[in-house]
């Protein structure tokens, strides 16, 4: 089920890459819903190199989406508190979203250890990136500071992915030749990620 949904989203996105879909999926990626930014930004940057989109706007809207998702996590934790956050992490839905009590605890410990800067550095750390906004909300971190550090961290990560995607255009002839194969390759990656989600979810229930 998860595999099919993920594959469908990737397939749909490849056919509807625009600033709106970039913002939407990056907001999802930046919340606690697992969706890799590596599947979102590079294809959009590649289309920008082809002239279909503006590369600066790809970067802007991907970063905007990251902020929206981070703010969702921040306010969710701020309003509902630690008890609800941990109940969500331990719920069936939370486990489907790859949340876990240990993961949230890890993010909280990281936040306590690094303070405000964790919302910047944490955006670059796998396994922490999507969750670091939760402890910021739980700690009632100053909103302006949260936005500033989150913006910088998200911008750095998104810039890296944008440059990588855009630089692929230097291999335009090769990419044009194997466009179909590459499209299927992305779908295969999506299926593999979906299988990982299913495996991780089932493992949590063993």
Q: pLDDT tier at 7 (50, 70, 90 boundaries)?
A: low
- Torsion angle (degrees, nearest 10) of CA 102, 107, 110, 116: -160
- Tens of pLDDT, residue by residue over 116-166, are 777 777 777 766 777 778 888 888 888 998 999 889 888 988 998 898 888
| Gyration radius of the chain's alpha carbons | 17
- Tens of pLDDT, residue by residue over 81-114, are 888 888 877 777 666 665 667 777 777 777 777 7
Q: Tokens 């800067």 — which residue? A: 117
Give the span between the Cα atoms of 98 and 89, in whole angstroms: 8
Q: Which two tokens stand for residue 64?
A: 């905007």
- Tens of pLDDT, residue by residue over 35-49, are 778 788 888 988 888
Q: What is the per-residue pLDDT for 198?
A: 47
- Tens of pLDDT, residue by residue over 62-81, are 999 999 999 998 999 889 88
Task: Please give the C-alpha separations between residue 132 and each of 46, 48, 108, 165, 189, in angstroms, as whole numbers.
Answer: 29, 30, 7, 26, 26
Q: Give yes or no for residue 179 having a pLDDT over 60.
A: no
């Amino acid at each position: 089920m998860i595999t099919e949904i993920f594959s469908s989203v990737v397939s749909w996105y490849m056919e509807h890459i625009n600033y709106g879909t970039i913002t939407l999926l990056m907001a999802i990626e930046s919340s606690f819903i697992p969706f890799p930014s590596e599947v979102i930004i590079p294809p959009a940057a590649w289309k920008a190199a082809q002239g279909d989109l503006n590369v600066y706007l790809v970067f802007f809207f991907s970063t905007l989406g990251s902020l929206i998702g981070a703010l969702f996590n921040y306010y969710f934790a701020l309003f509902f508190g630690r008890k609800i956050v941990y109940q969500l992490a331990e719920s069936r839905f939370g486990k489907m979203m790859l949340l876990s009590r240990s993961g949230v605890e890890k993010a909280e410990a990281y936040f306590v250890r690094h303070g405000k800067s964790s919302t910047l550095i944490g955006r670059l750390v796998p396994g922490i990136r999507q969750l670091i906004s939760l402890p910021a909300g739980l700690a009632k971190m100053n909103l302006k500071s949260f936005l500033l550090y989150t913006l910088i961290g998200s911008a750095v990560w998104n810039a890296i992915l944008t440059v990588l995607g855009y630089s692929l255009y230097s291999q335009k002839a090769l990419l044009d030749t194997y466009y179909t194969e590459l499209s299927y390759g992305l779908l295969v990656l999506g299926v593999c990620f979906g299988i990982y989600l299913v495996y991780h979810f089932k493992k949590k229930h063993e």
